[in-house]
Amino acid sequence: MVKEITVSIFRYDPESDKHPSYQTYSVPSKERMLVGDVLEYIHENLDGSLAYRWECRMRLCGGCTILINGKPGLICREQAEPSMTLEPLPFLPIVRDLVVDRKSLLDKIYSVPPLTRQKSPVRLPEPIAHEVILGLRVPRQCVQCLACVAVCPATEVLTADLFLPPKLIQIAGFAIDDRDTVDRVQESEESNLFDCACCHACEEVCPHEINISEKVITALRNKTYEHGIGRGGRYIKAFYDTLQAKGKVNASGILLRSQGYLRAIMKAPQGIRLIARGKFVSPFGKPIPDIEDIRTIIGPTEQEK
Amino acid sequence: MKYAYYPGCAAKGSTPEADFTTRLVAQTLGIELLELQNSGCCGAKEIRVVSRRLDLNLNARILSLAQGLGLDILTICNTCLLNLNQANNQLKAEPETLQKVNKSLSKIGLSYDGSTNVKHLLHVLLTDLGLDRLKQSVKTPLTGLKVAPFYGCHIVRPVKDLGFDVAKTESLEALVRTLHAHPVEYPGRTKCCGFYVLMPNEAAASGMIAHRLEEALKADADCIVTPCPLCHVALDMFQEQALGKVGIRRTIPVLHLPQLVGLALGISEKNLQFSRHLVRVNILGK
Ligand code: SF4
Ligand code: SF4
Ligand code: FES
């Protein structure tokens, strides 16, 4: 007996439909069938009016991302499951059914031009260090499929002032290229680098398995810290200073060191409630007894890779 | 069952009730905890920004202190769990890095051999103790209590670093059921509380916190339970202001994992230290 795949698909044509609806189809299952194959079967055999996007079919154009059982994925990569719900990516205007208008987000990503800005004229041959090339491979893998954007909690809240992982990936790529002349530290601060919540949700859905937290966010934050600029750089320095002073960290110590007395005092009403509940750790408290051990192993001389 | 207990900075500072109730619950269940005195911070997500090597040094020191006791680590913080595991994996996979880190540790009379395992209280309850044994210890079944399991990120992701997929296996839900409570289904269970944005951008963090709370409220949960003190800071301490900003006047209590377990083990309300929370815990008698 032929096994069937039951698939419920989001249908909506903004020009003629009042509301979106879901339509269910049964598709004969084949071995190693991709979600894209299922959609193609429906389009060719059951319902020619279904709209979806699938172009390169080899995970490179980044255009075919949809929500598969609530999780973003490329239809040219993800295996079909016996029972699926397929929906368009969130955040974006719907063109029809599973097709969304990606332009607004792509424009924001490409506001960082995908070009190394070099001093002109470029002297040829152009020497590029091996490590630079290796490092560049990571950001070059990003195909702007927007899967990470769909799950990112920072993107979710910063609707007006967009936080976009793929934009930071572009910036990270140039930041490690020593031929590049743009101030990428400034650029990443302006792109809300420190609004990443370190949740790792993006990595779980990235079809190219880019380690965004380490290779992009941490790498760029490290540059910001080394330049000692901006709210982010100040915050990291305050954390490090607190740890060197006490061996442990607490919010009050970091606040005092990064935002100064004024901001710290302005937080006082919250502070008083915390004191009442035994939750307030004084920034002037004692360090841990083995503080010298901590200072020894995290001192500046220990930083070599 | 004996562990080197590493509560982490948050449970020693902002959420002392998490530390206190973990000890009570462990004692009740016959789990022996030997605290790693003096263990210091794991570096959270910040020290690796200064340098990966410093983060490794800090974590290797903690792992080595546990190795000295011949015990596995039990932590009650998601970020500590992930950091210790990531460092451990890297040190085991890269002998050269381990050698360098040991050079730093030698200056303080320590060395690490890669033999320490790191577990979260949730793993210990699930696998080392086992839910069957936990069930036998339940004195006050939490029948009728609707609980929103909130995992937090660093106990869930990246799975390859943690080696155990707690979310896919629905372990927190299973634990809630063991206590005779009802785990509600809702989309926020493995999403981010926003804790790490609180310092650099409180407004953005507040938005994330409000989203998570709204998701739990919509699912009609009586309370949220979390295995992470950092999530507790975000969801409890900042709840009023986050919900206020989006015009929601209801609140929802947030329990630490050991508090929920303790409740079912019959530990008194006073000892569970609900009075330390900023959001009133009004679930008793439900
Ligand atoms: S780790 Fe940062 S960039 Fe990735 S999804 Fe989480 S908040 Fe967004
Ligand atoms: S980082 Fe990965 S998930 Fe995000 S846009 Fe690039 S390829 Fe897609
Ligand atoms: S069709 Fe191009 S990435 Fe899927």
Say what the pLDDT of residue A268 is. 58
Residue B200: the pLDDT is 83
* pLDDT mean over A202-213: 96
Please name the residue that has the structure tokens 């986050």: B242
At residue A289, the pLDDT reads 84
**How big is chain A, counted in residues?**
305
Q: Which of A207, A227, A247 is the last residue of a domain?
A: A227
- Kindly report the CATH number assigned to the domain that includes residue A112: 1.10.1060.10
Number of domains in chain A: 3
**Mean pLDDT, rounded, for B50-58:** 95
Q: Is residue A303 part of a domain?
A: no
Q: What is the pLDDT of residues B75-97, one digit of tens each?
A: 999 999 999 999 999 999 999 99
**Does A298 contact chain B (CB < 8 Å)?**
yes
Q: Which residue has the higher pLDDT, A147 or B283?
A: A147
Contact assignment for A199 to B57 by CB distance below 8 Å: no
Give the pLDDT band of residue B153 (cuts 50, 70, 90).
Answer: very high
ipTM of the complex: 0.94
Two structure tokens written together for B200: 């650099």
Inter-chain touch A194–B53, beta carbons under 8 Å: no
- Ligand 1 pocket mutation, candidates B48, B191, B192, criterion most atoms within 8 A of CB: B192
Does some domain include residue A173?
yes
Looking at residue A116, what is its pLDDT? 77
Q: Distance between CA atoms of B39 and B4, rounded to whole angstroms?
A: 11
Sheet order of strands, B73-75 included: B32-35, B2-6, B73-75, B118-120
Taking CA atoms only, the protein residue closest to ligand 2 atom 6 is A142
Evaluate whether residue A304 is within a structural domain: no
Cβ–ligand 3 distance for A55 under 6 Å, the answer yes
Mean pLDDT of A250-268: 63
The per-residue pLDDT for B285 is 60
Residues in chain B: 286
Q: Which pLDDT score is estimated for A47?
A: 97
| Nearest-angstrom CA–CA distance, A148 and A166 | 8
Residues of B in contact with A302 (CB under 8 A): 53-54, 57, 104
For residue B171, the model assigns a pLDDT of 96
pLDDT at A230: 73
Q: Evaluate: CB of A144 within 6 angstroms of ligand 2.
A: yes
User: What is the torsional sign of CA B46, B52, B54, B58?
Assistant: positive
% of chain B beyond a pLDDT of 70: 99
Mean pLDDT of all residues belonging to chain A: 88
- Asked if A68 contacts A35 with a C-beta cutoff of 8 angstroms, the reply is yes
From CA B38, how far away is CA B62, in angstroms rounded? 9
Q: List pLDDT tens digits, range A102-161.
A: 999 999 999 888 777 777 777 788 888 888 888 888 888 999 999 999 999 999 997 666
pLDDT over 90, % of chain B: 91
CA distance, residue A8 to nearest chain B CA (Å): 19
Examine the pLDDT at B286 and tell me if it is beyond 70.
Answer: no
Output the pLDDT for position A262.
Answer: 54
- Note whether B232 and B226 are within 8 A (CB): yes
In whole angstroms, give the CA distance from residue B22 to residue A235. 31
Checking if the pLDDT of B213 tops 80, the result is: yes
Question: Measured from the CA of A74, which atom of ligand 3 is nearest?
Answer: 4
Name the residue with higher pLDDT: B214 or A303: B214
CB B116 within 8 A of CB B66: yes
Q: What is the CATH number of the domain that holds A78?
A: 3.10.20.30
CA distances in angstroms from A224 to A113, A192, A220, B29, listed in the order given: 21, 12, 6, 47
- Indicate the residue among A174, A194, A227 that finishes a domain: A227
Taking CA atoms, A160 is separated from A155, A233, B135, B182, in Å, by 10, 23, 49, 38
Q: Decide: helix, strand or coil at residue B74.
A: strand
Q: Is residue A92 part of a domain?
A: yes
Domain boundary among A196, A227, A258: A227
CB contact under 8 A, B200 and A232: yes
Residues A41 and A14 in one domain: yes
From the CB of residue A166, how many other CB atoms can be counted at a distance below 10 Å? 28
Same domain membership, residue A113 and residue A188: yes
Q: What is the pLDDT of residue A128?
A: 84
pLDDT over 80 (residue B11):
yes
Antiparallel, parallel or unpaired: β A94-96 and A99-100: antiparallel
Domain membership of residue A122 as a residue range: 106-227
Least confident of A249-263, B184-198, B271-285: A249-263
How far away is chain B from the Cα of A134, in angstroms, using its nearest Cα? 19
Does residue A130 sit within a domain? Answer: yes
Q: Is the pLDDT of residue B67 over 80?
A: yes
Q: Which residue has the higher pLDDT, B106 or A128?
A: B106
pLDDT band, residue A260 (cuts 50/70/90): low
Measured between its terminal Cα atoms, the distance across chain A in Å is 59
Shared domain for A69 and A83, answered yes or no, is: yes
Confidence of residue A1 (pLDDT cuts 50, 70, 90): low
Does a structural domain hold residue A305? Answer: no
Asked whether A237 and A226 are in contact (CB, 8 A), the reply is no
Residues A149 and A246 in one domain: no
A221 and A172 belong to one structural domain: yes
Contact A255/B at CB under 8 A:
yes
Contact B46 A298 (CB under 8 A): no
For residue A127, the model assigns a pLDDT of 81
**Nearest chain A CA: its distance from B133 CA (Å):** 33
Residues with Cβ within 8 Å of residue B57, at least 6 apart in sequence: A297, A298, A302, B101, B104, B105
pLDDT of residue B282: 85
With an 8 Å Cβ cutoff, are B192 and A296 in contact? no
Answer whether B1's CB lies under 8 Å from B32's CB. yes
Backbone φ and ψ of B254, nearest 5°: -120, 120
